[in-house]
Structure 1
Amino acid sequence: MANVLVVDDSNTMRELVSGFLSKNGFDVVTATDGRDGLQQLRNDPDIKLVVSDINMPVMDGLAMAEKVRNELGNTAVRIIMLTTEDNAHIRERGKEVGVNGWIVKPFRGEAVLGPFKKFCGLA
């Protein structure tokens, strides 16, 4: 089963992030929005890390994170936002709903490889 879930409504970003992670030893599944991401988490209890955009149709990344923590009761999965949003208000909202980290786009895979491997027990 997968150990990373990449959630982004942009096909290009999903492919970029999931492709990089796959090439570096991660088992990755993807989702097109927060609702799809929640379903992936329900289906696969082995996911240890979620990398998600915030601004998506249907359900945004922060709403998904809140549901992961409250509705699914999943406090173990690490949730990292990968987004263009970088203001204090949105970061505070992220902390409130259980987001563990923040990466401002563009995605620089090499910079996060070590921490991501640690989150997933690959280091």
Structure 2
Amino acid sequence: MPSSDGKLRILIVDDSPTIRKNLVQTLESFDFDVVAAADGEEGVSHVAKDHGIDMVITDVHMPKLDGIEMTQKIVSQGFNKPIVVLTQERRDEFVQKARAAGATGWMVKPFHRDEVISVVRHALKLSA
């Protein structure tokens, strides 16, 4: 469901101010409406209050509530839209754990802005 101005809304959840800022700027430059949270608890709160969120991009290792736990929580509360996990992990068992939690995709850090846009478009089933 697009925001009131017709843009798709993406929630960024990452405890790194630099990563949040870079993702927000990248996504806004491609005309997405972006909201950001600094940890998993804040991310859960955003999803609970903002029913217009079309996608979540979350870091894994965060204080208070990590990205896997946050993903499990929002999925258990009915969020059924794409969730992409950001991580430095490359192991298959991590991917399986993220999928079991409800993640629909992942990006390995560090990432390039073109990769971010490609993953977002793919997750949201948008054409280039």
TM-score, scaled relative to structure 2: 0.86
**Number of aligned residues:** 121
Residue 51 (structure 1) aligns with: 57
Query: Which residue is equivalent to 2:99?
Result: 95
The aligned residue for residue 34 of structure 1 is: 40
Residue type of the partner of 2:87?
A: T
Which residue does 2:79 correspond to in 1? 74
Q: Alignment partner of 2:53: what SS?
A: coil
AA aligned opposite 1:97: A
Structure 1: unaligned runs, 5 residues or longer = none
> C-alpha offsets along residues 41-90 of structure 1, whole Å, 9 cap, x if unaligned?
111111111111000000000000000111x1112x10001111221221
Unaligned runs of 5+ in 2: none
Aligned partners of 1:48 and 1:119 also within 8 Å = no
The aligned counterpart of 2:11 is: 5
Cα distance in 1, alignment partners of residues 26 and 111 from structure 2: 10
Partner residue in 1 for 2:30: 24
- 2:65 aligns to what SS in structure 1? coil
1:91, 1:115 → 2: CA distance?
Answer: 16
Q: What amino acid is the match of 2:102?
A: G
Partners of 1:120 and 1:91 in 2: CA distance: 20
**Structure 1 residue 122 displacement after superposition:** 5.6
State the identity %: 33
Cα contact 1:82–1:107 (8 A) shared by 2: no
Kept in 1, the 8 Å contact 2:82–2:104? The answer is yes
Give RMSD over aligned pairs. 1.6
Q: Which runs of 4+ in 1 moved over 6 A?
A: none
Q: TM-score, normalised by structure 1?
A: 0.89
Residues of 2 paired with 1:11 and 1:39: CA distance?
19
Deviation of 1:121 after TM superposition, in Å, equals 6.7
- Preserved CA contact (<8 Å) 1:17 1:107: no
